[in-house]
Amino acid sequence: MNQSLPGVRVLLGVSGGIAAYKAAELLRRLRDAGAQVRVVLTANAERFVTALTFQALSGNPVRSSLWDEAAEGAMGHIELARWADQVLIAPASADLLARLAQGRADDLLSTLCLATAAPLAVAPAMNQQMWAHAATQANLAILRSRGVQVFGPAAGSQACGDVGSGRLLEPPELVAALAAARAPGELAGQRWLVSAGPTYEDIDPVRFVGNRSSGRMGFAVAAAAHAAGAQVTLVAGPVALPTPHGVTRIDVRSARQMREAVLAAVADSEVFVSAAAVGDFRPAAVAPHKLKKADGDSGLELSLVQNPDILAEVAARSPRPFVVGFAAETEQVEAHARAKLERKRLDLIAANEVGHELGFERDDNALLLLWPGGREALARTDKGALAQALVARIARLRAPQGARP
């Protein structure tokens, strides 16, 4: 038998929901894949399934209470948290996801998730309305930003009679997803440098020239590269986003600070992705005090000077990394982007149309990837999915000619 999880110590958490019955089959499949499994049930899971089933199938005692005197005499929850190579919660109910997002430790399973250093994967299962609810999606976004893997859910008919997203993935699919998530990523051993967000160019101590970039596109690229195994440094302009799990972040404010941070890190990087919306101009001088308007003033003239072009400077280096630029265009997207690709001597450019309700400050986007001799249009979808496709394209272009699919 092909064992995809040989010797992996999996702590299987089961929360309360009708899909809990599938966790027994999942346990068998995990063992078939070579994993050692210990099971923790929440109090609500015990309303759907019995500990005895899981004890018989796992060959280990099943735990459900943080207040089990026999086990906790020797700090059993800490021992269990240290034992695990991997925590998998299937099914993960909406309530459990909310408690994990809040970092609660009010029962054994949530406490273990805080106490373990092992990676955590969750397989959500719930009614389709509960899945689509903004609160559930916000909790998932928090968990994803902390590096929690989310498997599924699938769409289809539900036990409650509804049809939609929220079904637990089938046990073989869950085992395959877990094995894939644990395999060393395609970019293992590579160092990537990503820039993201706007730059702020100060006018005086309270005002600046900036732009509408939220940083979401660049942060998604950093997260996708890390998820594929790369060691990622993210140079971020002023944005209000959490650092993607596992990524090293350097915060900057102005274009000149961003240039310094990028040049300090680029010599060590195999790939540079410039997703930042770097300000092309800055005020010629920063006023030391807040500019006052005097009676009779009808306007203010601001004198601007050009900022360095960080991307062009990196592309002109020798040796240089694989250089990827973005092009934010409001018209003739492909023609302008292709001209930038050639003028700045880039390896790849990701063009997007920006403007009112396009590109900036949104969760979705559409990209046109252009490289010497090739193009790929990526249809509008969320920035996470686009970032994965961009990272995959970069990996393919960098692969030795013979190995390129």
Residues of this chain that interact with ligand PMT (CB under 6 A) are 213-217, 255, 274-278, 280, 307, 309-311, 325-328, 340, 352, 354, 359-361
Q: How many CA atoms lie within 13 Å of 304's alpha carbon, on the beta-carbon side? A: 13
Question: If you ran DSSP here, which 8-state letter would residue 294 be given?
Answer: P
**Catalytic-role residue among 43, 160, 264, 339:** 160
Structure token pair of residue 383: 């920035």
Name the residue with tokens 């990503």: 194
Residue 216 CB, nearest distance to ligand PMT (Å)?
Answer: 4
For ligand PMT, give the closer residue by CB, 128 or 214: 214
Minimum distance between the CB of residue 217 and ligand PMT, rounded to whole angstroms? Answer: 4
Q: Closer CB to ligand PMT, residue 45 or residue 341?
A: 341
Please give the C-alpha separations between residue 353 and each of 326, 340, 346, 380, in angstroms, as whole numbers: 11, 14, 19, 11
Nearest distance from residue 358's CB to ligand PMT, in Å?
Answer: 8
Which residue number, 14 or 328, has a Cβ lying nearer to ligand PMT? 328
160 is catalytic: yes
How near is the Cβ of 328 to ligand PMT at its closest, in Å? 4
Nearer to ligand PMT, 310 or 368 (CB): 310
Which residues, listed in sequence order, are joined to residue 209 by a DSSP beta bridge?
A: 201
Shortest gap between Cβ of 275 and ligand PMT (angstroms)? 5
The answer to whether 357 and 363 have CB atoms below 8 angstroms apart is no
Nearest distance, CB of residue 335 and ligand PMT, angstroms: 13
Check residue 355 and give left, alpha or beta (phi > 0: left; psi -120 to 50: alpha).
Answer: left
Closer to ligand PMT by Cβ: residue 230 or 276 = 276
* Nearer to ligand PMT among residue 148 and residue 327 (C-beta): 327
The verdict on whether omega for the bond into residue 153 sits within 30 degrees of 0, i.e. cis, is yes
Q: 86-92 and 120-124: which strand pairing?
A: parallel
Q: Which residues pair with 375 in a beta bridge?
A: 370
Could you give the CA distance from residue 297 to residue 291 in angstroms, rounded to a whole number?
Answer: 12
Amino acid (1-letter code) at residue 332: Q
Q: Residue 145 is which amino acid?
A: S
- Read off the tokens for 26: 């999942």
Contacts of 282 (CB under 8 A, 6+ apart): 201, 202, 209, 254, 255, 256, 304, 305, 307
Query: What is the C-alpha to C-alpha distance for residues 334 and 220, in angstroms, rounded to an integer?
Result: 23
Positions marked active-site: 160
